[in-house]
Amino acid sequence: MSTEATTDLEKHSSPGRGGPPPDPSATGHLAGLAGARQAVRRIGFYVFCCLLLAFFALPLLWLACAPFDRTPTITASLPDFTLQNFDTLFDNPYAMRSLGNSLLLAAGTGVLVVVFAALAAYALSRVRLPGRDALLYTLLLLSSIVTGTAAMVPLFNLAFELHLIDSQLGVILVLTGGLLPSAIFILKDFMDGTPRSYEESAQVFGASPLQIVRHVVVPLVRPGLATIAVWSVAQVWGNFLIPFLLLRSPEKSPAAVVMYTFYTEGGQPDLALISTFSLLYSLPVVLMFLLVSSRYGFRFHGGIKR
Amino acid sequence: MPTTSPPDAGLAPRGAGGQAGAAPRPARDRDAAGLGRPRAAAFVTPALLLIAAFLVFPALWTIYLGLTDYRLTGLAAADPQMVGLDNFTDALKDDSFSHSLGLTLQFVVGSAVIGQAGLGFLIAWVMRNRRGALRRLVEALVLTAWILPSSVIAFLWIALLDRDDGTLNAALHTPGTAWLLEHPMLSIIVFNIWRGTAFSMMLYAAALGNVPPSHLETARLAGASGWQQLRDVVFPRIRGHILTNLLLISLWTFNDFTPFLLTSGGPEDKTEVMPVFIYKLALSNGELGFGAAISVLMLLINLVIAVVYMTLLRRRKEDAPA
């Protein structure tokens, strides 16, 4: 219906395209009305933008001000500039260690996800294994259904049975298992899109399959691997639930969990510490995001799981 | 048709593949490196083992646990008994479960379906013809809200909504309003809109890029109002994107644990959405069997959403020009 209508419209008005509409009946009054409407629309647009900016900026203000304020309070206000708060942060072994833990979890998970997903995706892309399509479909379905929140009870049990409670390895394995299906799916798509001719000519020159994978395929799909690495690191860096469930000792907890204990436990929160810690902890994701968007042009996190 | 719409390159589920418009690939499954099936199987195995252990097995175990009276401590911890479907019937009759389900529905519909999708579309629509600093600023702020770690975001909102010194009370001149205690559900709904609008905004911005500008222009020249343009020209073209968007954000919001960071489910149980409810029941109170039964119901709801989504995705892939 609507397509027909538009095609009709197209036919009638195509000569007018590119310039003002050739409207013979336009009078000064109508033009004035249109002008007023335009003005109202413009004002509406700017009001909308102001409200939007206020809504999205308001909660972030505190993060921009408090870390640099000599006497940080809960209220966002122009800071009485100082960098002293960062000394408080760097002197706090607990806070710095948690960032180290986050790094360890993110790097460990990132490496496992990239290596295993790349191997699996390459094999699935190039070799017709029986039941491949069904497998991919099931994997993607599973990864969206079995989320950390829906499976927290058995994940806790499983870690308990395997003596992986309070083990960082346990957290890494659980997170890797959760991220792998989407990573395989995205990478397989990526590898399907890369040409096979390089591999074939390498084969002609007598390279073994493993050599080809190492020296021809890996350089070819590096952008895909980088995307997956950044994506999985970002996922782990911000993840709260899994380490919160599986880790017991504060010395092993990542920044996400330690940050939470900063403001839920221990009476009066130390705002100098919380604000600088938040900033330092947020910085890597922002940097990674800027890197990815400048390098590859920002696309959505692929897959169904975020 | 006057124009052929370009295939929606770069949209969510395709990932980084960018295969739209690629040359036809006759030898789709050519084993170019001479890998061979045994080696290929060896390549796939480690990933599958991890997935089986930490994704498939927990899901199956959830179902098993849901059928037992397993508890974290006490007699039933040592020797859990099969109780069949009792947990499920108990859950469905339980007041706290239906209370939590109602809250979850409010949370998903209010913050995702209406809030994120509505605001995301509005931003994408208003900004569609703009290039420049204003648009970049808006997008940067909306995206920042999306990418920062949830622990940080949660504290920012706790600070914002603070009763005594919160920036919101200062801005609105409503001193002494304890937002998280007086309007807990509203708070986490607005919070989640703020947190997640970025995804919808980007998806709709990409979708609107596929609506040929000439169609909009001709509709406008023919005197169609803004709303008529939306209804007759835009919506029919981005129907698939809207559906994708709604399904994904509903799924994510339904499984979101972040409200816990803001309110821990309180005050009392006024913000106990499903994930928080399960956490408290199973891991704080130790009722693992009952908690698992509710997890199974959650898995089922996820399954329904995901199957609908994947079916749509498949249909769209088949419909796409070869």
pLDDT by residue, tens only, chain A of 306 residues: 333 343 343 334 444 344 444 455 556 677 788 888 889 988 999 999 999 999 999 999 989 888 888 878 877 777 778 888 888 888 888 888 999 999 999 999 999 999 999 999 999 988 888 888 888 888 888 888 888 888 888 888 888 888 999 999 999 999 999 999 989 988 888 888 888 888 888 888 888 888 888 888 888 888 889 888 988 998 899 999 999 999 988 889 999 999 888 887 666 778 888 889 999 999 998 998 888 777 765 554 433 333
Task: Calculate what percentage of chain B has a pLDDT beyond 70.
Answer: 86
Please report the DSSP string for chain A in residue order: -HHHHHHHHHHHHGGGTTS----TT--HHHHHHHHHHHHHHHHHHHHHHHHHHHHHHHHHHHHHHGGGBSS--SS-----B-SHHHHHHHT-HHHHHHHHHHHHHHHHHHHHHHHHHHHHHHHHHHS--TTHHHHHHHHHHHHHHS-TTTTHHHHHHHHHHTT-TT-HHHHHHHHHHHHHHHHHHHHHHHHHTS-SHHHHHHHHTT--HHHHIIIIIHHHTHHHHHHHHHHHHHHHHH--HHHHHH--SGGG--HHHHHHHHHHSSSS--HHHHHHHHHHHHHHHHHHHHHHHHHH------SS--
- CA distances from residue A6 to A23, B97, B206, B216 in whole angstroms, order as listed: 19, 50, 22, 9
In a domain, A222, yes or no: yes
In a domain, A192, yes or no: yes
Residue A79 to residue A147: CA distance in whole angstroms: 41
Query: Could you tell me if A121 and A209 lie in one domain?
Result: yes
Task: Calculate what percentage of chain B has a pLDDT beyond 90.
Answer: 34
Domains of chain B: 95-319 (1.10.3720.10)
Substitution target in A17, A136, A153 with the highest count of B β-carbons within 10 Å is A153
Question: Which residue, among A186, A241, A141, A242, has the nearest Cα to B59 in the 3D structure?
Answer: A141
Residue A161 to residue A18: CA distance in whole angstroms: 71
Query: Could you tell me if A121 and A163 lie in one domain?
Result: yes
What pLDDT is attached to residue B287?
Answer: 83
- CA distances from residue B37 to A133, A183, B31 in whole angstroms, order as listed: 16, 22, 9
What pLDDT is attached to residue B11?
Answer: 33
**Among residues 271-310 of chain B, which lie with CB inside 8 Å of chain A?**
274-275, 278-279, 282-283, 288, 291-292, 295, 298-299, 302-303, 306-307, 309-310
Query: Which of A82, A115, A138 finishes a domain?
Result: A82
> Pick the residue with more confidence: B298 or A302?
B298
Query: Could you tell me if A145 and A42 lie in one domain?
Result: no
Domain region containing A245: 93-296
In a domain, A5, yes or no: no
Structure tokens at A218: 């890996």
Say if the ipTM goes beyond 0.85. Answer: no
Query: Could you tell me if A146 and A77 lie in one domain?
Result: no
In a domain, A29, yes or no: no
Query: Could you tell me if A157 and A278 lie in one domain?
Result: yes
Query: Could you tell me if A77 and A103 lie in one domain?
Result: no
Residue B197 to residue B193: CA distance in whole angstroms: 6
Query: Which of A82, A114, A146 finishes a domain?
Result: A82
Q: Supply the mean pLDDT for chain B.
A: 83
Give B319's pLDDT tier (boundaries 50, 70, 90): low
Cβ contact, residue pair B303, A145, below 8 Å: yes
In a domain, A203, yes or no: yes
Query: Could you tell me if A114 and A191 lie in one domain?
Result: yes
In a domain, A104, yes or no: yes
Query: Could you tell me if A74 and A97 lie in one domain?
Result: no
Q: Which of A9-18, A28-37, B169-178, B253-262 has the lowest mean pLDDT?
A: A9-18
What pLDDT is attached to residue B261?
Answer: 92
> Contacts of residue B303 in chain A, CB cutoff 8 Å?
141, 145
Sign of CA dihedral B5, B6, B7, B10: negative
What pLDDT is attached to residue B21?
Answer: 40
Q: What is the mean pLDDT of residues B210-228?
A: 85
**Total of domains in chain A:** 2
Query: Could you tell me if A249 and A165 lie in one domain?
Result: yes
In a domain, A26, yes or no: no
- Half-sphere CA count of A115, side-chain side, radius 13 A: 10
pTM (2 d.p.): 0.82
Residue from the list A145, A187, A282 with its beta carbon closest to the beta carbon of B299? A145
Query: Could you tell me if A159 and A289 lie in one domain?
Result: yes
What pLDDT is attached to residue B260?
Answer: 93
In a domain, A12, yes or no: no
**Among residues 140-179 of chain A, which lie with CB inside 8 Å of chain B?**
140-158, 173-174, 176-178
Look at residue B116 and tell me whether its pLDDT is greater than 90: yes
| Separation of CA A75 from chain center | 29
Query: Could you tell me if A163 and A219 lie in one domain?
Result: yes
What pLDDT is attached to residue B322?
Answer: 41
What pLDDT is attached to residue B239?
Answer: 85
Q: Which of A104-108, B184-188, B200-204, B312-316 has the lowest mean pLDDT?
A: B312-316
Query: Could you tell me if A104 and A217 lie in one domain?
Result: yes
